[in-house]
Structure 1
Amino acid sequence: MTSKTAGTHGAVLADTVPEADRPIVQLRGAGKAYGNIRALHGVDLAVHPGRVTCVLGDNGAGKSTLIKIISGLHQHTEGEFLVDGGAVRFTTPRDALARGIATVYQDLATVPLMPVWRNFFLGSEMTKGPWPVRRLDIARMKRTADEELRNMGIVLDDLEQPIGTLSGGQRQCVAIARAVYFGARVLILDEPTAALGVKQSGVVLKYIAAARERGLGVIFITHNPHHAYMVGDHFSVLRLGTLELSAARADITLEELTNHMAGGAELAALKHELAQVGGVDVEALPDEEPEGSAPDTAAPATAAPTTAVPGSAAPDTAAPDSAAPAEGKA
């Protein structure tokens, strides 16, 4: 929403959106086609400072294509891509970095046998001395790396240890701190918890929240709705290259988000197919929709003692016509 203020000569001017509400990165109907293959189509996404935008989807949903567009690796072929309200078309990832968009990929872009401090400044080393005999300023790089890691709450006893000796969660956190230090305003995290255990995933989620508290806009790519719901402010679910769901945290529950991720329609079709196979008790399977309480009323007709269990799991809203399929099965 725009507000109006008086100009320098008394004229009423329309202000732009306040800084806190203006998205840093915004996609409007964005898409990407590789020849006649449409990998992404009609995607709307807004990344605000100090908020975590979670992008969820199964394999092949279009998450990687979306990352490549925002990070400057690929160009969109339809729609608009805006940064700070202006249309852009990045040609290289360095263009995105220059605008404050940093990506932390699953491989973290680290060299396992190099020390932590060297990986922190990999490709952007500090130097000292006159040209052409400038040399690495090792003391300053160690000091800076230690300070920045501590600012993110990461305390390492020895920065000389190879980064490959750190746990997966610690390496993720070092990559996040590195992106923050080099001026990232938007942080894209590509499946940071995919290969981690429960404890290490919690460590990474904690530092995602810390990055949000520092005012960064975070794009959290994941296929785990439980992890997303812990730290997310807005959720976008992709399916087959299109945006199936876009909802704020206040407008969706974890159960609804999980159902969108799992694909309620596909589960319903699968349950129907399993019903045609002998030896499969489909009544014992969980309902694909919350309104699955009608089988309770049809339990006496089916005379199956297990039908009361799945029906009682979701007594919220009973669909009036759901008893008819139950009678048909009976």
Structure 2
Amino acid sequence: MTTPAQSDLAPPPTLEVRGGRKNFGAVHALRGVDIVARAGEVTALVGDNGAGKSTLIKCIAGIFPFDAGEVRYEGETVHISDPGAANDIGIEVVYQDLALCDNLDIVHNMFLGRELRKGFRLDEAAMETRAAEVLASLSVRTVRSIRQHVASLSGGQRQTVAIARAVLWNSKLVILDEPTAALGVAQTEQVLQLVRRLADAGLAVVLVSHNMNDVFEVADSISVLYLGQTAAQVRTADTSRAEVIELITSGSAVAPVGAPGTAQPATDNANGSTTA
């Protein structure tokens, strides 16, 4: 009797984009992008300015429609028509500007636009309880009170609130756009620990970043974009900073780490997280 291969028994990736294309008139922003994001893993999305990272995450989030290609979500082909449709299937995006309101407290920011109500009134008790539960589940201990205004928070605390808001709605895929770009060393480490905890909790995380130290600290795999195309998607443990930088700058590596233009699916038995 033949035993099925372990890979055959593994669940499908949370997100899989194959041959994604997006044009803005004569500008070909995405010219064939492939990316795979798996539950329980951090997938870093890297590339130079203009490589197509922002366009790709906006297409996944439903802001722009793909002009061509296939999007599979948990093994099923999907068409994400708008941000609401993305939210409905469990996709949340934390953009670089965070979209937080300084004049509101943490609870109201976390429920902004999705407030819980009891009759005609806001259900403040339920929102406060749920917000506290989510922050506790993420081991967030740097916030003094969930009722303090966001204006009083540090950059790292603001990022934490934005990430907690993203996971509040039973999300399965969280996309983080440059979450450490404006943070100091200590705050960056706090946010990276939170990113790792998201993956350890079973979510698929896509981390958009220019910082190779951040990428190699928390990512399990790295997807490299070059001029609107996928240069490679590789396991972090199987590559080096030099090889990734070469892919970012030229679209190919001196020592090939993946077929240019083809995303290399993650192998299930590799541990991609490294600080080397």
Answer yes or no: same fold by TM over 0.5.
yes
Kept in 1: contact 2:226–2:251 (CA 8 A): no
What is the percent sequence identity of the aligned residues?
A: 40
Residues 256-275 of structure 1 mapped to structure 2, 5 A cutoff? 256-261=243-248, 263=249
Are residue 209 (structure 1) and residue 196 (structure 2) matched? yes
In 2, Cα distance between equivalents of 1:124 and 1:178: 11
Higher relative contact order (CA 8 A, sep 6+): 2
Are residue 41 (structure 1) and residue 27 (structure 2) matched? no
Detail structure 1 runs of 4+ shifted over 4 Å in the superposition: none
Counterpart of 1:123 in structure 2 is: 113
Are residue 50 (structure 1) and residue 40 (structure 2) matched? yes
Q: What are the Cα deviations for residues 237-271 of structure 1, in whole angstroms up to 9, with x where unaligned?
A: 1121111222112320233223433x2699xxxxx
In 2, Cα distance between equivalents of 1:235 and 1:247: 5
**Which structure 1 segments of 5+ residues have no match?**
5-15, 267-287, 291-330
Match of 1:153 among 127, 139, 143: 139
Kept in 1: contact 2:226–2:250 (CA 8 A): no
In 2, Cα distance between equivalents of 1:179 and 1:22: 23
In 2, Cα distance between equivalents of 1:178 and 1:90: 21
In 2, Cα distance between equivalents of 1:173 and 1:66: 24
State the shift of 1:225 in Å.
1.4
Kept in 2: contact 1:55–1:237 (CA 8 A): yes
**Alpha-carbon distance change, 21 to 36 in structure 1, aligned in 2, over 3 angstroms:** same
Q: What are the Cα deviations for residues 137-169 of structure 1, in whole angstroms up to 9, with x where unaligned?
A: 112212221121111111322222111211111
Structure number, greater radius of gyration:
1
State the shift of 1:230 in Å.
0.5
Aligned with 1:148: secondary structure? helix
Kept in 2: contact 1:53–1:234 (CA 8 A): yes
**Alpha-carbon distance change, 265 to 254 in structure 1, aligned in 2, over 3 angstroms:** closer
Structure with the higher helix share, 1 or 2: 1
Q: Tell me which amino acid in the other structure corresponds to 1:31.
A: R
Counterpart of 2:121 in structure 1 is: 135
Q: Tell me which amino acid in the other structure corresponds to 2:43.
A: T
In 2, Cα distance between equivalents of 1:30 and 1:241: 10
Q: What are the Cα deviations for residues 182-217 of structure 1, in whole angstroms up to 9, with x where unaligned?
A: 111000001111111121111111000000010000
**Alpha-carbon distance change, 161 to 265 in structure 1, aligned in 2, over 3 angstroms:** closer
Aligned with 1:123: secondary structure? coil
Q: How many residues align?
A: 250
Q: Tell me which amino acid in the other structure corresponds to 2:98.
A: L
**Which structure 2 segments of 5+ residues have no match?**
256-276
Counterpart of 1:218 in structure 2 is: 205
State the shift of 1:128 in Å.
1.1
In 2, Cα distance between equivalents of 1:180 and 1:191: 17
TM-score (norm 2): 0.85
Match of 2:83 among 80, 87, 93: 93
Q: Tell me which amino acid in the other structure corresponds to 1:116.
A: I
Kept in 2: contact 1:264–1:289 (CA 8 A): no
Counterpart of 2:53 in structure 1 is: 63
Match of 1:24 among 9, 14, 24: 14
Counterpart of 2:74 in structure 1 is: 84
Kept in 1: contact 2:243–2:254 (CA 8 A): no
Counterpart of 2:219 in structure 1 is: 232
In 1, Cα distance between equivalents of 2:181 and 2:232: 22
Counterpart of 1:73 in structure 2 is: 63
Counterpart of 2:267 in structure 1 is: none
In 1, Cα distance between equivalents of 2:225 and 2:167: 27
Residues 155-304 of structure 1 mapped to structure 2, 5 A cutoff? 155=141, 156-261=143-248, 263=249
In 1, Cα distance between equivalents of 2:26 and 2:139: 47
Q: Structure 1 residues 217-226 or 139-148, which shifts more?
A: 139-148
**Alpha-carbon distance change, 17 to 177 in structure 1, aligned in 2, over 3 angstroms:** farther
**Alpha-carbon distance change, 137 to 202 in structure 1, aligned in 2, over 3 angstroms:** same
TM-score (norm 1): 0.71
